[in-house]
Amino acid sequence: MDDKTPAMSDADNPAPAGAPDAGGMDRRRFVTGALGAAGAIAAAGVLGTGGSASASTRRSAHRAARTGRAAAGRRVAVFGGGMGGLTVAHELAERGFQVTVYERKAWGGKCRSMPVPNTASGGRQDLPAEHGFRFFPGFYQNLPDTMSRIPLPGGGNAAGNLVDGKEVAAFYNGTKFTLPAAGSIIGTLSPDSLLAFLNTAVNVVGTVPAWEVGYFLQKMIAFVTSGPERRYKQWENMSFSQFVHSEKMSKQYNELLVDMFTGTLVAAKPDKANAHTMGLMAEAWVYSTLGLGGYKAPDRLLNAPTNEALIDPWMAYLRSLGVTFQADAALTRLDVADKRITGAQVTGAGGATTVEADHYVLAVPVERAVPLLNDDILAADPSLRSLRELTTDWMNGIMIYLRQPIDLAKGHVAYAAQPWALTSISQAQFWKKRFGSTYGKGDVNECLSIDISAWDKPGILYGKPARDCTHEQIFKEVVAQIRKAIPWGPVVLNDVNIHSYFIDPAITGNGTPQVANDEPLLINRPSSWNYRPEATTALPNLFLASDYVRADINLATMEGANEAGRKAANAILDASGAGGTPAKLLKLYQPKEFQGFFDDDDRRFKAGQANAFDLWDPAKP
């Protein structure tokens, strides 16, 4: 591959008090044979650590897998082979259900990795790429629990493929700022001690006016001490920019604190993400930094491409439990009679096929779910119309392959003040296999995996937003913006070291009026919680398992989709009468020391008063 030439252009868990009521085959060959047998043999031991099913239930699941039969009322059709769909299949297959998963495009959905075609030689694998880089914050709990129950060939489980990042960094006009990957509070946890820790952790004074830094951190304390009434009825209904009064503050405040903060934590735009979601992620990050609540290191990654480390062994394990996978199968219709789903139609290269099951799980993303909600479904459950109010945005990846690694950070990096809201991770430093001897043709030793989160803002080279640029223009813009952000940018990221690039193939028609994104991401805009459903619907055999389902983490993430899959599985356990141990639903940590503050703030909110720590509003004279 030539230098700098694109490789390819391609009701289970109700809301907390105060929350308003809601009206073909895998690109890599499936692992079978010995791996599948190993998964079946290891299942009992691995499941024991997760505590998700009793020994008798596991034996029942294995019998069902061997015989291909399941008890009456236990046939489940799951539409969507991403995180939510695979999770519900996992939980139900362990409990003896007969599950078939249908996927239109690629197993793993947006959380998959993919090979760059025709980039390998000498027995190596094709260069690896991602829809967007993987990030497993320490406060993820449901997904790591699932991973702990996915056996690996040779022993261990997929959770063992998680490795710690040592820092979270930001580059701002040539200066590097580092957020701590670990910290401590001396004495008792309290708002004051937490504020003291944050004052030492956020070392941007001198670049951002000290009083603005103090105000930003005080707003974080106000959120952390807010009760559920204020979180769901005030912070949920405003943007993060409004919450921290971006419009009243300096350029440096917005670029280095607000934009970097939202970009690093969730790759989101502060004017679009709601304050409730961003505050929740901020406090969870702080608690994981402090090692509270059993949280792990704040920044975690996989030690290999996602399919190798997670998706492939997961599917092998599910196959060993009897799960059937049907590729090239796009759900095109759900049939309804007497307010129940009576069948579904899936379409692929071979034509249309009718699917019949006892329970149907819609595990496709929101932009694909909405067109499937026909008049009969909406007549049975009018509340599902609210899904039309949810919005998506573009957050897709570009991989820049380097001949030699560059030392940016031992973890994730944000490039503050750059118009396309770039964040990245240097993959090779975390992978267990040597990059150059495993992937490509031996002349690539690093993948700088980059997320572009702002496709609608003009760049610095061509004055055009990313969605209007050609692939080559996108590549050159990203390189220019990174060079501008880091010290000695043209030297550190030099032309000689850049081997090639690859843009997420979900983006098509670049540089034309037909530009499109086949895999956008749900955005937690203000008030979006009010429009999001639970995993159950008014149709007793239709369930939802996608990242738009209400979840404790309140963010469209792998963790949120995993939680949704667990909730859907539990709902099916109830609807089928199967009983047994439900899937765990693990919640974000809240310190017991703050319960008094939460209760007091609920009282203050109902009385129309501000949070006790929300001391000053710069919007008011």
pLDDT (0 to 100) of residue 3: 40
Q: Is 617 a domain residue?
A: no
Within 10 Å of residue 469's Cβ, how many Cβ atoms? 22
Q: Of the candidates 502, 517, 532, which is a domain's last residue?
A: 517
165: in domain: no
- Both 422 and 498 in one domain: the answer is yes
Q: Where are the alpha helices (DSSP H) in 14-82?
A: 34-50, 55-67
Do 252 and 289 reside in the same domain of the chain? yes
CA distance 83 to 365: 11
Q: How far is CA 456 from CA 98, 360, 448, 452, in A?
A: 44, 37, 22, 10
Task: Let me know if residue 592 belongs to a domain.
Answer: no
DSSP helix/strand/coil, 290: coil
Burial zone of 347 (CB within 10 Å; 0-12 exposed, 13-18 middle, 19+ buried): middle
DSSP-derived secondary structure for 351-376: EEEEE--SEEEE-S-HHHHGGG--HH
Q: For residue 593, what pLDDT is reported?
A: 94
CATH code for the domain in which residue 89 is found = 3.50.50.60
Interatomic CA distance for residues 312 and 334, integer angstroms: 29
Comparing CA positions, the residue from 87, 89, 95, 93 lying closest to residue 56 is 95
- 84 and 140 within one domain: no
Please check whether residues 379 and 527 belong to one and the same domain: yes
User: Is 305 inside a domain boundary?
Assistant: no
Which stretches of 394-464 are assigned E, i.e. beta strand?
396-402, 413-416, 422-426, 446-452
> In the chain, what's the furthest Cα-to-Cα distance?
74
Nearest CA among 396, 508, 515 for reference residue 452: 396
**pLDDT tens, 493-502?**
999 999 999 9
Decide if 117 is inside a domain: yes
Angle at CA of residue 553, ends 550 and 559, nearest 5°: 95
Nearest residue to 504 via CA among 26, 129, 87: 129
Instruction: Tell me, yes or no, whether 313 lies in a domain.
Output: no
Can you tell me the distance from the alpha carbon of 10 to that of 326, in angstroms, rounded to the nearest whole number?
24
Closest to 310 in 3D by CA, of 512, 457, 573, 134:
134
Where is the domain boundary, 279, 296, 313? 296
498, 490 in Cβ contact below 8 A? Answer: no
Residue 365 lies in a domain: yes
Q: How many domains does the chain have?
A: 3
Neighbours of 490 (CB within 10 A): 12
CA pair distance 539, 528, nearest whole angstrom: 23
3-state secondary structure of 402: strand
Spell out the residues 6+ positions from residue 261 whose beta carbon is closer than 8 angstroms to its own. 270, 278, 282
| Below-70 pLDDT ranges, the chain | 1-72, 180-181, 205, 261, 263-268, 617-621
Cα angle for residues 277, 283, 285 (degrees, 5° grid): 100
The domain that holds 124 is classified in CATH as 3.30.9
**Domain check: are 198 and 290 in the same one?**
yes
374: number of Cβ within 10 Å: 12
Question: CA-CA distance, 21 to 618, in Å (whole number)?
Answer: 33
Q: Tell me, what DSSP letter sits at residue 350?
A: T
Residues 288, 227 share a domain: yes
Cα separation, 427 vs 434, in Å, equals: 11
The span from the CA of 560 to the CA of 274, in Å, is 16
Q: Of 603, 481, 547, 491, nearest to 83 (Cα)?
A: 547
User: Which element (helix H / strand E) includes 85?
Assistant: helix 83-93
**Are residues 342 and 249 both part of a single domain?**
no
Distance CA 548, CA 545 (A): 8
DSSP conformational letter for 102:
E
Name the token pair of 565: 């899959």
Residue after which a domain boundary falls, among 517, 539, 561? 517
Could you tell me the CA-to-CA distances from 603 to 16, 137, 228, 606 in Å, in that order? 15, 32, 11, 5
Burial of 247 (0-12, 13-18, 19+ CB in 10 A): exposed
Judgement on whether residues 446 and 363 belong to the same structural domain of the protein: no
Are 455 and 367 part of one and the same domain? no
Q: Which of 446, 441, 510 is nearest to 475 (CA)?
A: 510
Range of the domain at 117: 112-155+395-517
Measured in residues, the chain has a length of 621
List, in order, residues 6 or more apart from 491 with CB less than 8 Å away: none
Helices (H), 444-557: 471-485, 489-492
Residue 542 sits in the same domain as residue 571 = yes
Could you tell me if residue 457 is inside a domain?
yes
Q: Are residues 377 and 405 in the same domain?
A: no
Q: Do 508 and 530 belong together in one domain?
A: no
8 Å CB contact between 450 and 400 = yes
At 317, is the secondary structure helix, strand, or coil? helix
